[in-house]
Homo-oligomer: A and B are copies of this chain.
Amino acid sequence: MELHPDRLFPSDPTIRNIARSLYASVANLPIVSPHGHTDPAWFASNAPFGNATDLLLKPDHYVFRMLYSQGVPLESLGIGNGDADPRNAWRILAEHYHLFRGTPSRMWLDWVFSEVFGMTAQLDAGTSDLYFDTITDRLASDDFRPRALFDRYQIEVIATTESPLDALDHHASIRAENQKAGGWQGRVITAYRPDTVVDPEFEGFADNLGRLSDLTGEDCFNWQGYLAAHRQRRAFFKDMGATSTDHGHPTPRTADLGADSAKALFGKICSGEFTAQEAEIFRAQMLTEMAAMSVDDGLVMQIHPGSFRNHNDPLFRRFGRDKGADIPMRTEFVANLKPLLDRFGNDRDLSIILFTLDESVYSRELAPLAGHYPCLKLGPAWWFHDSPEGMRRFRHMTTETAGFYNMVGFNDDTRAFLSIPARHDVARRIDCGFLAQLVAEHRIADWEAAELAHDLTYRLAKKAYRL
């Protein structure tokens, strides 16, 4: 359970020594977290987090998907079942903890157990209650409230993700607190994630347009009104600190239909009578519309495509979204992005950050695109690939063609607040190991590696996200 100081560094002594020294120079840099899904209510209210199960097990679909895959019913963990005893649920995790060997969840959890809660024994059936009690007790103390951990974690800035329908009340509270004399100074910003009002196949899409109309005073069933509502909400999000938008489409398809066709398509979408193909083209058109607005308002655009959401239909119908059943799909960028790029690709003021779950596009499509188009940058290894091996593959497959400076540093992309430093630490260690290999093979100089380690850890994220 004690974390080894050399963990994740390559074993070769030459490389390890270089990696150690690079890591020492970046290990204590502040955390810049420009993309994630923490709950702003935590920082607005600063209420204690609750028990170990409610904080660390029930919301973490990385963790419970693995238990589920091995036959553990979700109900026994308290998911979709308010009656489950959290101590028993924790014991199930403890008894199955060997399932996580070799996974990033194991590393993140072990870091939280050791560094945050000071546990020294390994989690297993015999230590389950000790873990549950210790963690739950500590969470009740002031030192483990959200703002205290935020400060202890040295987070310079964190972005959350909200729908245009969100009133951003928590963000408003935090900003009020920031401005109070002696108030908490944590910087928590939002990001504009319009899927709920851009994707015609999203649950409740028509209702959502209605709510957007109410919120903005625009007629969102009229194409011009709908676009104006987006502009208005983007401006409001920007006022509340947002520097970016985020788009979770099934594919990165873009379109540039022209005003009349776009308006006609929107009419069909609003009528509720549209095909899957029309929904896809509408999402495609909206990526281009969002790019046009970004050219105007300067918000950085993030595209996160390629997840088949809620693949397990019976599970979705019973338990809802985000239950560990989102499965990556093959993703094509070269033809899909062309309409948007033909219109805005050479615009130096536009910044689009691309993510993928399909590693076969790293070297084939993404690195060549980012190594040419002024508006494109590559986001870090994402989701399932946010892992030591995933990050290594990302660096090995993109660096030679895209270069380091068409990257944006690390995103933790998590709702698991307690593990944020663990995640950034993994990225720092893997990057330092990668740079150390380049130095050991005499491909870059040691002083260049030191500069790059700092860039990858801190400077690139701030620059790319305009923070």
Contact = CB atoms under 8 A, between A and B. Distances in A.
Interface string A386-415: 011110010011011111111000000000
B405 A372 contact: no
Given A11-B441, A399-B103, A364 B359 contact: yes
A404 B101 contact: yes
A358 interface: yes
Given A69-B370, A69-B371, A363-B385, A400 B325 contact: no
Interface in A29-69: 65-66, 68-69
Contacts of A357: 364
Interface in A307-344: 308, 311-315, 324-330, 332, 334-335, 338, 341-342
A466 interface: no
A399 B334 contact: no
Interface string A345-377: 110100000000111100111011111111010
A84 interface: no
A98 B442 contact: no
A430 to B, nearest CB: 10
A12 interface: yes
B346 A363 contact: no
Contact of A68 (B3, B66, B374): B374
A7 B441 contact: yes
A201 to B, nearest CB: 16
* Most chain B C-beta atoms within 10 Å of own C-beta, residue among A9, A325, A373: A373
Contacts of A70: 374, 405-406
A104 B403 CA distance: 10
A82 interface: no
Interface in A6-25: 6-12, 14-15
B315 A346 contact: yes
Contacts of A373: 69, 312
A70 to B, nearest CB: 6
Contacts of A403: 66, 69, 99-103
A401 B384 contact: yes
A373 B308 CA distance: 14
Contacts of A104: 400
A27 interface: no
Contact of A69 (B10, B98, B314, B374): B374
Given A8-B442, A403-B102, A358 B348 contact: no
A10 B443 CA distance: 11
Number of copies: 3
A182 interface: no
Contacts of A215: none
A327 B365 contact: yes
A4 interface: yes
A109 interface: no
Contact of A311 (B338, B359, B360): B338
Contacts of A273: none
A77 to B, nearest CB: 14
B384 A368 contact: yes
Given A8-B443, A103-B399, A328-B365, 14 more contacts: A4-B442, A7-B443, A69-B372, A69-B374, A69-B376, A69-B402, A98-B451, A103-B403, A308-B334, A311-B372, A312-B345, A326-B368, A327-B369, A360-B360
Interface of A: 3-4, 6-12, 14-15, 65-66, 68-71, 98-104, 107, 308, 311-315, 324-330, 332, 334-335, 338, 341-342, 345-346, 348, 357-360, 363-365, 367-374, 376, 384-385, 387-390, 393, 396-397, 399-406, 437-438, 440-444, 448, 451-452
29 contacts: A4-B442, A6-B442, A8-B441, A11-B14, A11-B440, A66-B371, A69-B374, A69-B376, A70-B374, A98-B448, A100-B403, A101-B404, A102-B438, A103-B399, A103-B403, A107-B443, A311-B338, A312-B341, A312-B345, A314-B342, A325-B372, A327-B365, A327-B369, A328-B365, A329-B334, A358-B360, A388-B400, A389-B399, A390-B400
